[in-house]
């Protein structure tokens, strides 16, 4: 018994000695930092944010000759970016009209007007997105109005729908619009004559005007549209022969001075006046309706009654001239002429 206790004591003592030795050897050793280690407690400078260039955005509003402001300046900047060397003045000037017209002539998808619209904006954006430039003047070479004589100038941009064509402002002798088409409207004759033609932008508008007139059960007929310089020369000479030049000049234009050569004009009539182009047409249902609604489709009565001293032509209720809805609305609502409208724009 004593012997067994002794053994137990020895075993327990040995265990205690073993545990004590383990504890004495389990020290945590922390190595010194290397001498060449440098701790930098200084704050690092903040990284500067990378500036993202803001995308160039063209105006969404329609713009035309005479308009002024930031939108016009932005449009001019866009035109400059794609290759046009024009001034960034903030005024929709003649050179801006030229640049827009030239761009439109170089694109098969655009109507040629000289007016900045949605489709023109998309075309400029396409050039900008693809980082492309245009060849200025390839559609319409740039030049200034030229003097024909002391009283008359030859206009440099015959494609502009706000072009003033009268006894002081003539079209180039060789001008024939490249976008002439035959509008799908009624004519009192079946022959396929050039006078059925109009420029595409005006023809499209005339079709809408006739469709609206049809809804009112009106009998409108198109009588005479495009007329070449040579044809006008023949007609004017004939009128002079029959009436004398002074009288002929009150109802017929000299060659180059006729709006018919622009392709933006259509003389209209009705069976109520035997399809004639006479003053009495203004008193017909068709004539009255045109005076009230033509502007909704971009047309004006170009030679209104009581304005003969300004237009220098007799009253012609049948003579429709396309100028676009914006200009037509103001001209017809205010009872002014194209001459007066453009004069105000230039001031």
Task: Tell me which residues are annotated as active site.
Answer: 316
CA 75 to CA 86: how far, in whole Å?
Answer: 11
According to DSSP H, which parts of 294-337 are helical? Answer: 308-311, 325-334
Q: Are strands 169-170 and 180-181 parallel, antiparallel or unpaired?
A: unpaired
Bridge partners for 168 per DSSP? none
Answer for the pair 80, 131: CB distance below 8 angstroms, yes or no: no
Q: What burial letters (b/e) apply to 242-273, b meaning 16+ CB within 10 Å? A: eeeeeebbeebbbbbbbbbbbbbbbbbbbebb
Alpha-carbon distance 166 to 179, whole Å?
A: 22
Return the H-helix or E-strand segment holding 343.
Answer: helix 338-346
The token duo for 267 is 């003389």
Name the nearest CA neighbour of 272 among 322, 206, 313, 217. Answer: 217
CA 265 to chain CA centroid, Å, is 21
Residue 34: exposed, middle, or buried by beta-carbon count in 10 A (0-12, 13-18, 19+)? exposed
Q: Beta partners for 299?
A: 322
Which residues does 259 contact at the CB level (< 8 Å), separation at least 6? 165, 253, 265, 302, 319, 321
Distance, CA of 186 to CA of 223 (rounded, Å): 9
Helix then strand count (H, E) for the chain reads: 11, 9
């Amino acid at each position: 018994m004593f012997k067994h206790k002794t053994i137990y004591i020895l075993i327990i003592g040995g265990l205690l000695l073993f545990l004590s030795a383990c504890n004495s050897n389990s020290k945590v050793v922390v190595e010194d930092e290397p001498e060449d280690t440098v701790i930098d407690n200084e704050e690092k400078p903040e990284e500067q944010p990378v500036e993202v260039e803001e995308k160039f955005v063209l105006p969404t509003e329609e713009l035309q000759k005479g308009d002024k402001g930031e939108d016009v300046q932005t449009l001019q900047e866009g035109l400059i970016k794609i290759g046009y060397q024009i001034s960034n003045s903030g005024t929709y000037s003649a050179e801006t009209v030229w640049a827009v017209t030239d761009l439109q002539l170089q694109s098969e998808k655009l109507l040629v007007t000289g007016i900045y619209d949605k489709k023109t904006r998309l075309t400029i954006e396409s050039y900008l997105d693809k980082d492309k430039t245009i060849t200025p003047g390839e559609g319409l070479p740039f030049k200034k109005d030229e003097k024909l004589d002391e009283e008359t100038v030859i206009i440099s941009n015959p494609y502009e729908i706000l072009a003033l064509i009268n006894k002081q402002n003539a079209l180039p002798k060789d001008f024939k619009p490249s976008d002439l088409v035959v509008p799908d409207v009624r004519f009192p004759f079946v022959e396929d004559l050039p006078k059925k033609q109009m420029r595409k932008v005006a023809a499209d508008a005339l079709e809408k005007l006739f469709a609206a007139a049809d809804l009112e059960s009106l009998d409108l007929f198109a009588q005479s549209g495009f007329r070449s310089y040579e044809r006008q020369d023949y007609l004017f000479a004939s009128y002079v022969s029959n009436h004398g030049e002074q009288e002929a000049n009150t109802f017929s234009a000299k060659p180059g001075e006729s709006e018919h050569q622009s392709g933006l004009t259509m003389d209209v009539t009705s069976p109520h006046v035997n399809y004639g182009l006479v003053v009495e047409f203004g008193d017909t249902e068709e004539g009255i309706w045109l005076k009230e609604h033509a502007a909704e489709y971009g047309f004006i009565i170009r030679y209104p009654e009581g304005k003969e001293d300004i237009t220098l032509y007799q009253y012609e209720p049948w003579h429709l001239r396309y100028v676009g809805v914006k200009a037509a609305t103001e001209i017809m609502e205010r009872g002014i002429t194209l001459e007066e409208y453009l004069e105000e724009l230039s001031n």
